[in-house]
Amino acid sequence: MIAFRADANSEIGSGHIMRCLSIAKALQKLEQDIVFITADDNGKELIRREHFPSISLNTQWTNMEGELLELEKAIIKYKIQVLIVDSYYVTHNYMKRAKDLVKIVYLDDLNQFVYPTDILINYNIYVYDIQYSSYYSENTTLLLGCDYVPLREEFSGRIRTINPSVNNILITTGGSDSYNMAGQLLSYIRKFSKFDSLNLHIIVGALNKNVENLNKLSKLYPNIILHRAINNMADIMMECDIAISAGGSTLYELCACGLPTISYSFADNQLWIVNKFNQEQIIYYSGDIRGDISACLGKVNDSLSTLMKDALLRKELSLNMQNLTDGRGSYRIAEKVLKLL
């Protein structure tokens, strides 16, 4: 049995569980039994939708050490052999205690300390700015770089054709959109007549609390199209010409689809990603919405105008994006995990 330890809620969104689900599906295809372990029931629906069982520890998701006793019980009861952990709230003691019982895989974004783990994964574009090999021994297998981006199978093998004109814009703001960025973007974009003829596709995350407001806007304006509880994200991305997206794992999905993108950030853990993408001239960055939201929206507008007018630029960005990841990272991870059994 292979277990995933991850959480989702309106504060942290759904990204941790979503990327674990991608790896879980790859492992399932390799005939492995999977179970998800969460602190509470907030992420249960996301997991159930993908037909995986889950266990709630009924603990506080920010206090990982406080769940150790319940975690140990679950490991023994379900005969778990490998635990794949995806949380920013782990401590050295938590990881060490868990590693005394099972093989550990850790998905890292922040490099907070040297994690006691059998496999460490950091697939982010900025990973080579971190000297992992200098402080991890040969006892830890390092899976580094965009070859290990854990995307779902639907993102593999996508071929992008750049349309001469822009007709469809995708807006994706994360699982919870706690800053109501989708609503703010729509209100801002509606001020400009150049967007009146465009279809605006909004991905409404499972934890989004602004659904009522978005519903009102979609009823007022027929070119605002809401997508909820979807299982075809790659298809929607392929239908669109430009995306506006929050920083995070969605940026790698957009890369696999070669969809020219304008990013923004709303959390510290996104800053490395969005700045590196911008530095490498792969994805534009409009700023952090926790600061000057007006300046951020202005940069989004400027970038949209530039991309809409220049099909060659969109093609160049699209090629740069698709050169970054082939969408098969989940399978590469799954093959390495199997070697721990």
pLDDT > 90: percent of the chain: 83
Residues in the chain: 341
Same-domain pairing of 139 and 181: no
Q: Using CA atoms, how far apart are residues 129 and 145, in angstroms rounded to an integer?
A: 11
By the 8 A CB rule, do 80 and 102 touch?
yes
pLDDT at 194 over 90: no
Same-domain pairing of 135 and 15: yes
Same-domain pairing of 278 and 307: yes
pLDDT at 5 over 80: yes
Residues 142, 233, 144: CA angle, nearest 5 degrees: 10
Active-site residue, selected from the candidate residues 16, 92, 201, 227: 16
pLDDT for res 208: 84
Give pLDDT tens digits for 74-132.
999 999 999 999 999 999 999 999 999 999 999 999 999 999 999 999 999 999 999 89
Which structural domain, as residue segments, surrounds residue 244? 158-322
* pTM to 2 decimal places: 0.90
Q: How confident is the model at residue 178 (pLDDT cuts 50, 70, 90)?
A: confident
Same-domain pairing of 204 and 248: yes
pLDDT for res 177: 84
By the 8 A CB rule, do 170 and 240 touch?
yes
What's the mean pLDDT when you consider all of the chain? 94
Same-domain pairing of 265 and 301: yes
E strand segments, 116-165: 119-122, 141-144
Residue 154, marked binder: no
Same-domain pairing of 191 and 293: yes
**Which domain CATH number covers 238?**
3.40.50.2000
Per-residue pLDDT, averaged over 302-311, amounts to 96
Same-domain pairing of 127 and 213: no
Question: Which two three-digit tokens encode residue 126?
Answer: 């900025």
Cβ burial, residue 83 (10 Å; 0-12/13-18/19+): buried
CA dihedral 48, 152, 207, 231 (to 10 degrees): -70
Q: What letter represents residue 327's amino acid?
A: G
pLDDT at 242 over 80: yes
Question: Is 201 in the active site?
Answer: no
pLDDT at 206 over 80: no
Residue 153, marked binder: no
Number of domains in the chain: 2
pLDDT at 276 over 80: yes
Q: What letter represents residue 334's amino acid?
A: A
pLDDT for res 10: 85
**Looking up tokens 């969104």, which residue turns up?**
13
